[in-house]
Amino acid sequence: MSKSSHVCSSCGAIFSKWLGRCPLCGEWNSVVEQLNKAKDTKNKTSLLPAVPIKEIKLVRDSARLCSQIPEFDEVLGGGIVRGSATILGGEPGIGKSTLVLQLLNSIAAQGHRCLLVSGEESSFQVRLRAERLKTIDVNLLFLSETSLPNILLAIEDEKVDLVVIDSIQSVTDDSNPSSFGSISQVKQCTAELVELAKSSNTAIIIIGHVTKEGSLAGPKTLEHLVDTVLNFEGDRYNSLRLLRSLKNRFGPTGQMGIFAMRQGGLQPVPNAGSIFLSDRNLDSPGSIIFSAVEGQRPFLVEVQALVTPSGGAPQRSSQGVDAKRLNIIIAILQSCLGIPLHSFDIFISVVGGVKILEPAADLALGLALVSAWSGIKLPSDLVVCAELGLRGELRQVGHEELRLKEILQMGFSQVLLPQNGTSKESSLQLERVSDLNSAVEFLGLEFKRNKRLRLV
């Protein structure tokens, strides 16, 4: 093995020789030399022997640190597993530092030693925040540090049960020649922190700022290094915050916890219900209610669409839904209903800052667009839920019963669902349709190709 390799500090690609420009990401002067750590190949007997799976200890609930904040513990599948590594991602200012301080304090209050390492805030700032949040348990330690070797030493010396690093982008390792905050540094620091956490049975939560494009410290390079990936999201100008598990080696993924950011910190919101519908404007076209399920939690959310004639190249903007999915739905509306959306600017927004990952939101997006384009408003007591196939067919969705129960509880009366489902709810006016055309027909809209929709 050669003594050094050349690593792109922008994308993390490795080359055998130095290059002026990285051929993978196109960045200039980003390739730097990195010394390879020599591997001891002679001492092969020190390798761990293989063991029968039957003899490996199971993770018991006692091996979990419960925060007793149910919205947090449930997302992790029952608390933080000792010795596990978690990444908590989210946009700057969303409330990550607030969440971890409350979490650490709650765990410290049960007698566990907890350590917060911050490279972003001074001790004074942290103390002020702790006063505000009333998180000043004696078992909660603080260290203002950015150097990786010092952080590793502190974790070993303090013998803590849980450590939080706020944030990985502020940690530096002088032995790594790539620039501060580069992907290569972030990756190496994460790997070393995770390694120590595992060997010392210390649970670690690493905070990572997510860039505007939604990637954590560049590409998703860190996710495979850890056991659990959590994302904290919401609209910064709205108090709602959602905690979601994107990966979890110790529990179910897709679980969601809902919080509200208040003066005294984050408050759990156990009954999501119609929380996303509070500012609803019932009288405008382009608005529809979608019945969502994240993890096992049903909730109703408003999807809004705005369609305006385009002055040049048509604009597409989507908040809370995947931009690629939106493009597919626009194409389906054009081909199945003949709506000439190519000459319109299109804006989609999921109200409340929630991100919808389920394809079950397809029909809601489609109908919101049809309604916005035609200027005809949809019934205000209607809730829809279906995935769209490329030919406009409606596909069945999971958790139908859970959704219907929530719709009924929230006082809505009409539901539009795909043909193939079997769930029944006698108190609801439940309509099952096979495709987009039938959905438009059911809503009392008659469609004329290349003309605007009009009510019959």
Examine residue 245 and say whether the peptide bond preceding it is cis (omega within 30 degrees of 0): no
Which listed option, Mg ion, ligand TYD, none, makes contact with residue 129 (CB within 5 to 8 Å by class)?
ligand TYD
Judged by CB under 6 A, which of 263, 422, 427, 450 binds ligand TYD? 263
Nearer to Mg ion, 86 or 97 (CB): 97
Which listed option, Mg ion, ligand TYD, none, makes contact with residue 6 (CB within 5 to 8 Å by class)?
none
Span near ligand TYD by CB under 6 A; candidates 23-31, 125-133, 245-253, 285-293: 125-133
Nearer to ligand TYD, 97 or 169 (CB): 97
* Of 243, 193, 212, 216, nearest in space to 73 by CA: 243
Smallest gap from residue 231 Cβ to ligand TYD (A): 12
* Environment class of 79 (CB within 10 Å of its CB; exposed 0-12, middle 13-18, buried 19+): buried
Smallest gap from residue 180 Cβ to Mg ion (A): 18
Smallest gap from residue 88 Cβ to ligand TYD (A): 9
Which listed option, Mg ion, ligand TYD, none, makes contact with residue 135 (CB within 5 to 8 Å by class)?
none
Judged by CB under 6 A, the number of residues near ligand TYD is 15
Which listed option, Mg ion, ligand TYD, none, makes contact with residue 94 (CB within 5 to 8 Å by class)?
ligand TYD
Nearer to ligand TYD, 63 or 275 (CB): 275
Interface positions, 127-146, toward ligand TYD (CB under 6 A): 129, 132-133
Could you give the CA distance from residue 452 to residue 325 in angstroms, rounded to a whole number? 24
Report the residue closest to Mg ion, judged by CB.
Answer: 97
Would you say 59 and 249 are in contact if contact means Cβ atoms under 8 Å apart?
Answer: no
- What are the tokens at 241? 């915050």
* Of 227, 284, 216, 273, nearest in space to 250 by CA: 227
- Inter-CA distances, 132 with 98, 99, 102, 262, 266, Å: 10, 13, 11, 11, 11
Interface positions, 91-120, toward ligand TYD (CB under 6 A): 92-98
Smallest gap from residue 206 Cβ to Mg ion (A): 13
Interface positions, 333-372, toward ligand TYD (CB under 6 A): none
**359, amino acid identity:** P
Is residue 118 near Mg ion by the rule CB under 5 A? no
If you search the block for the tokens 């620091």, which residue do you land on? 189
- Inter-CA distances, 268 with 103, 243, 256, 259, 261, Å: 12, 11, 11, 4, 9
Element (H, E) at 256: strand 256-262
Smallest gap from residue 107 Cβ to ligand TYD (A): 17
Site string for Mg ion, 88-107 (x = CB under 5 A): ---------x----------
Smallest gap from residue 193 Cβ to Mg ion (A): 17
Nearer to ligand TYD, 78 or 268 (CB): 268
**381, amino acid identity:** D
**365, amino acid identity:** L
Residues sharing a CB contact under 8 Å with residue 276, sequence separation 6 or more, in sequence order: 240, 299, 300, 301, 302, 351, 352, 354
Phi first, then psi: give them for residue 372, nearest 5 degrees.
-65, -40
Span near ligand TYD by CB under 6 A; candidates 87-95, 291-299, 418-426, 431-439: 87-95
Which listed option, ligand TYD, Mg ion, none, makes contact with residue 208 (CB within 5 to 8 Å by class)?
none
Judged by CB under 6 A, which of 90, 119, 285, 320 binds ligand TYD? 90
Nearer to ligand TYD, 87 or 440 (CB): 87
* Of 279, 280, 243, nearest in space to 261 by CA: 243
Could you give the CA distance from residue 170 to residue 119 in angstroms, rounded to a whole number? 5
Residue 40 has a CB neighbour count (10 Å cut-off) of 8
Judged by CB under 6 A, which of 79, 89, 265, 418 binds ligand TYD? 265
Smallest gap from residue 153 Cβ to Mg ion (A): 23
Instruction: Outline where 333-399 has alpha helix (H).
Output: 362-374
Bridge partners for 260 per DSSP: 240, 267
**Contact footprint for ligand TYD (CB under 6 A):** 90, 92-98, 129, 132-133, 261, 263-265
- Which residues of the chain form contacts with Mg ion (CB under 5 A)? 97
